[in-house]
Structure 1
Amino acid sequence: MSDLKESGFKTSEVLSTLATSFDKMSENDKKAQIKKTNGIFQLNIKNAEGKEGIWVIDLKEQGKVTKGPAKKPDCTMTLSDDTFMSLADGKLNGQKAFMTGALKVKGNVMLATKLDGVLKGAKAKL
């Protein structure tokens, strides 16, 4: 999934790995993950240089990760590359990131809480 990678974004490595994990899932596992999550996440990530990258994790219809804005995201998250990496590594709690302003959420805030489980689940499968 090299089309997901963007230089200057550590996040793109994690999302590329997540996409690979979705691709390796059986159809039943993928359907179960989609049913459990039931949402489309748009991640607006800003790197250290101030450049913004946009990725979409579709766990409502397709069970895949793409680059570029979503047509109708259920939850849009805006955060820095470093904040995303801390969340993905489990070093930062999503609720704490939200409360301190490091993570901004538009749309379904409760859906945002499910992203943590998606990242952890993908990491466990690799």
Structure 2
Amino acid sequence: MLIYKIFRAPEWAALRENGTTPGAPIDVQDGYVHFSTAPQAAETAAKHFAGEDDLFLIAVDADALGDDLKWEVSRGGADFPHLYREMRLSDVHWAQPLPLEDGVHQFPAGAGFDA
């Protein structure tokens, strides 16, 4: 199963350059890297990245993260994936731009993304 992380361009560039990252400032503050499932991703983008352009959607294989990934109740009582270690570039299955069009982030067609 793929899970998703939204990074701002400098955060994605830092991961590519350094090979690891503790995540975005909110991840560092909370002590884990926040991820979303495909159905959760659009709401995450709207809530935490409203109006922001120059974002990247990063896909990670949840199973490959092993015991470092915990599913915990968060927004709306739903289980969200949280990674309790630094994210590694080797964790990335794929990454692509997450464009903003007319104020709405455009997720890839299919793959369970809600618009």
> TM bucket by the smaller chain?
under 0.3
Higher RCO (CA 8 Å, separation ≥ 6 residues):
2
- After TM superposition, the score normalised by the length of structure 1 is 0.26
Between structures 1 and 2, the one with greater helix share: 1
- After TM superposition, the score normalised by the length of structure 2 is 0.27
